[in-house]
Structure 1
Amino acid sequence: MTVFRTRSGAVRGLRAASNPGVVVLRGIPYAAPPFGVGRFRAPRPAAAWDGIRDCAAFGPVAPQSAQLPGAPRWSPGDEDVLSLNIWTPGGLGDALPVLVWIHGGAYVFGSSAQPDFDGTAVAGHGLVVVTLNYRLGFEGFGHVPPVGGEPCPDNRGLLDQIAALEWVREHIAAFGGAADNVTVAGQSSGATSVACLMAMDRARGLFRRAVAHSAVNSCASPESAARTTREVAAAAGVPATYDGLFSASPGALVDASDAVADAYRRDPASGQRHYDPAIYGPVSGGDTLPLDPLTASAAGGASGVDLLVCHTTEEYWLLDAVGSSAKITTEEQLALFASDFQLPAALLDGYRALMPGAPVLDVFLAVYGDLLFGEYSSRLAESHARAGGRAFLSRFARQRGGRGEPVRAWHCADIPFAFGNLHEESVHFLVGGPPAPADHELSGRMVRAWAGFVATGDPGWPTIDDSTGAVRIWDTAAGDSRDAWETFRTGWRGAGLPLLAP
């Protein structure tokens, strides 16, 4: 066991079982519990403590209804949910590069305790790794009307992430980290959180680099966020006011949110939300986030931040496999989908031509996955580069055969490879079973790319504004190319990319 001394108090960690050179500390509070007088408010500093705080266990997860493999479940009464975890191979005075990870989960589920986010392998490459919990669902992203003339901030989950980055700036040197060499990274809603942080003045200067895996095309307008509040309040049986919402327990708002989402899921006539009813997202157009990430990226406000983007080539097949997506199996349903998202017929025709003989469901999954993740992520990198920033683009294309359908290069499949956690049984569904030797080799390349980018800003291939325009393709065979996925982008260039609102 090893003790580190911070300005808040001393903490004791444990040596990682798989690498005794790495010390793990879990459940360190970076802000006060966001309930009671702090509910629906910006995060407040955590209280200091006397003595040595044992940090062997993850902190409680944010209120949610999900039960994820290998991770703890939220229980009513769990309030100290704003905590972080550290994996470090160093100590005071080492000044190692720092990677701060923000988990995904559609802004309503997930936690830093998921086994695929274990930082031991990445820390073994000479980095300090930090993962964190933040407020989710209504607690983190629901719009709350003002009380007594004082507004409650939107995007409280993003403000929590900023508070964690501020904690890192103030304390990470005690764990061997360099406060001036921080990279913030995330996947899915965590990746869009990263893109939002790049656009937020309050996060300026807290990180030097950013990594976004499968950023999701979804930001709420103030109007759509207010509509969601009215729907959730009605489902919870309370007025859509501060007092009414405050009177509902966190668990009641989780249940109400699930009910609202389920109603959209069951109603094919409910428009865009029917297809994958993620009802929460960052609220753009207000004080905390004036511009959505893609618009902000094009404006160049974060051009001094190096950006590494990755997405998978078959993103949406995962959402279909786990039953969270609508089943679009007829041409009539596909036409309604295109109308709901204002997609031109030529775009669907282009996908059909590139997928000869594919069933309607596969065409839908390909188009929707690119609309939500693939094309959006690529444009984040390209707009950042056009605005003068350094941007690197990569795509995860690894598949694996097996019984029945192959395991595709779908959403989330790249993360166990990038963290070097293929041995975790909980990720075998994502990657198609126990890893093969070629999978370990691919994972090693991805971990080294992450480590290189975090340390020096160079992941090992050219920026996309380079004359070669190289894109790194992550597969069991290495290479840089304008891969086959590029052919699917032709239709989007003609159609434009709708910016979606949850």
Structure 2
Amino acid sequence: MRAGTGHTVVTKRGPVRGTVADGLRTTLGIPYAAPPFGAGRFRAPRPAEAWDDVRECTGFGAVAPQSAELPGSPVWRPGDEDVLTLNVWAPAGTPEPLPVLFWIHGGAYTFGSSAQPDYDGSALARAGTVVVTCNYRLGFEGFGHVPGFPGNRGLLDQIAALEWVRDNIAAFGGDPDNVTVAGQSAGGGSIASLMSSARADGLFRRAIAHSVPDAFFPPELAERLAREVADAAGVASTADGLLAATPQALVEASDRVVARYAGDPASGHLHYDTVLYGPVLDGVLLTRDPVEAPARDGAAHPVDLLVCHTTEEYWLMHQVGSMPTVTTDDGLARFAADHGLPPALVAAYRALMPGAPVLDVFLALAGDAVFSLPTVRLAEAHARAGAGRTFLSRFDRRRTRPDGSPVRAWHAADVPFAFGTLDATGVDFLTGGPADADDRALSRRMVHAWTAFAAGGDPGWAPLTVPLTPSPADTTARAVHVWDVPGDRTEGAAPAYALWDGVRTAPPSLP
């Protein structure tokens, strides 16, 4: 980006100054709530303290407590507390209010931040939107059970950031009455949660959810895991005990608990997907399963929904070593049993993949169970509820490297295409190497679809129509827009999808 000039915007809490360059106004690290530590730790977000002098907002804010170190991204350092910040990219000099695209990052509700290079909002802003990305509390700070304190604090942070957008985005050229929330993985699960929560009602008009995980915790499991983390930190699982533990101590304790589950094949569901935190069905913020019932009865604000999943979700988890390797039939059978899946489903996947190694069958089954099927079911439930139009898509861009190895359409590979950030630091790992002309054309199509959907609710293909009693053979009702190179296509449901009629993975449970 060429060097530019500053630009000051007056928000409700005080003036902020970002940069102007290449036709964009970029304002980074704006506080939308007070630091959630000290007297505010484990509490609902509080308003940021007002300021009078111009606040320089030219760099990203501190990230939430975590142990991850991601390429090109800042890391959390003990003592970093002003973590509830957001960022705004807006075209310079636009006379009319623009649609707003509000991004919630993924990362297993445990790591990540809005400062990741592939979440740069420049391309989407140049396409005609005001882009907002935010940080929120992660891990134990955001989702751990603390007796007497509100749960789902990370979701409450997201709602507070959306309230900031409602109150301030007009000053940046955005339309507060035309907000689209978007997210992938844990961000997609957050979108589903916000859609089903009365607390977020009226804060957005449309939603984009990619690779939604089926990971909504019953309260009993959240309480059990909090006790295990407290034990690992050497404190009591009481409010006083947990408040006495530093954020760093709880991050480190959480990592030890994750390592224990990952190393114990007899530990059930959590052995395969060692995510300790996520939205909790607490009966307060979340009163129902967001995948099964994303639209609230009698909701006053219908929401249009665009969903997407990738074809080979779980191959990424295998590549980065974040899940165990299953290479035997006995291991595959144990995985199915631990997830409440019938043996016939495993046999059907083997039949769909004749001659495939057990590992490939496991990755296909696990990816569908954890991400693909919940995403499609969210779309179908929303379509049946009639609470807004629903659009279904699948990311299937694959290619072969010069050495003959495959480039997978795996988890998160779709994100830099939709953001237009194919050249960002670290993205070549997700996308399998440098982008070619076909990749760039695909990225332009995805950017256009997102911005067109945010502007008027139409990404460019027909909405989903789902009968109240769908048949596995009814592929028309389940038509999918497939993102691919050199061009996109429309298909019926993936062959494996019909195998799941009447089957759902068991919810996360106690080992």
Shorter-chain TM-score bucket reads: over 0.9
Q: Taking structure 1 as reference, are residues 313 and 428 closer, same or farther at Cα in structure 2, changes over 3 Å only?
A: same
Paired position in structure 1 for 2:171: 174
Structure 1 window deviating more from structure 2 (279-288 vs 59-68): it is 279-288
1:14-413 superposed matches below 5 A: 14-16=19-21, 20-90=22-92, 94-146=96-148, 152-297=149-294, 300=297, 304-389=302-387, 390-402=389-401, 403-413=403-413
Q: Taking structure 1 as reference, are residues 399 and 29 closer, same or farther at Cα in structure 2, changes over 3 Å only?
A: same
Three-state SS of the structure 2 residue aligned to 1:110 is coil
Three-state SS of the structure 2 residue aligned to 1:81 is coil
CA RMSD of aligned residues (A): 1.5
Give a deviation string over 1:52-75, Cα, whole Å, max 9, x none. Answer: 111111000000000000000000
Structure 1: 5+ residue stretches without partners: 147-151
TM-score by length of 1: 0.96
Distance 2:289 2:80 in 1: 32
Distance 2:354 2:221 in 1: 38
Give a deviation string over 1:272-307, Cα, whole Å, max 9, x none. Answer: 000121011100142111112023226656571000
Matched letter for residue 487 of structure 2:
A
Contact 2:195–2:295 (8 Å) recurs in 1: no
C-alpha deviation, 1:92, in angstroms: 8.5
Matched letter for residue 407 of structure 2:
V
Q: Taking structure 1 as reference, are residues 422 and 490 closer, same or farther at Cα in structure 2, changes over 3 Å only?
A: same
Give a deviation string over 1:375-429, Cα, whole Å, max 9, x none. Answer: 1100100110011131000000001211353110000000000000001131000
Q: Taking structure 1 as reference, are residues 72 and 32 closer, same or farther at Cα in structure 2, changes over 3 Å only?
A: same
Structure 1 window deviating more from structure 2 (2-11 vs 490-499): it is 490-499
Distance 1:123 1:72 in 2: 23
Structure 2: 5+ residue stretches without partners: 1-5, 467-475
Structure 1 window deviating more from structure 2 (420-429 vs 290-299): it is 290-299
Q: How many residues align?
A: 493
Runs of 4+ in 1 over 4 A off after TM superposition: 90-93, 298-303, 466-469
Paired position in structure 1 for 2:424: 424
Three-state SS of the structure 2 residue aligned to 1:418 is helix
C-alpha deviation, 1:342, in angstroms: 1.6
C-alpha deviation, 1:90, in angstroms: 4.2
Matched letter for residue 376 of structure 2:
S
Paired position in structure 1 for 2:469: none
Distance 1:299 1:243 in 2: 36
Give 1:9's match in structure 2, choosing from 14, 19, 34.
14
Structure 1 window deviating more from structure 2 (107-116 vs 298-307): it is 298-307
TM-score by length of 2: 0.94
C-alpha deviation, 1:2, in angstroms: 1.2
Distance 1:482 1:499 in 2: 30
Give a deviation string over 1:475-500, Cα, whole Å, max 9, x none. Answer: 013344225x6210111114344344
Matched, 1:474 2:471: no
C-alpha deviation, 1:356, in angstroms: 1.1
Q: Taking structure 1 as reference, are residues 468 and 347 closer, same or farther at Cα in structure 2, changes over 3 Å only?
A: closer
Paired position in structure 2 for 1:434: 434
Structure 1 window deviating more from structure 2 (111-120 vs 49-58): it is 49-58
C-alpha deviation, 1:238, in angstroms: 0.2
Contact 1:4–1:174 (8 Å) recurs in 2: yes
Paired position in structure 2 for 1:454: 454
Contact 1:142–1:154 (8 Å) recurs in 2: yes
Paired position in structure 2 for 1:149: none
C-alpha deviation, 1:177, in angstroms: 0.4
Three-state SS of the structure 2 residue aligned to 1:230 is helix
Distance 2:404 2:248 in 1: 39
C-alpha deviation, 1:240, in angstroms: 0.4
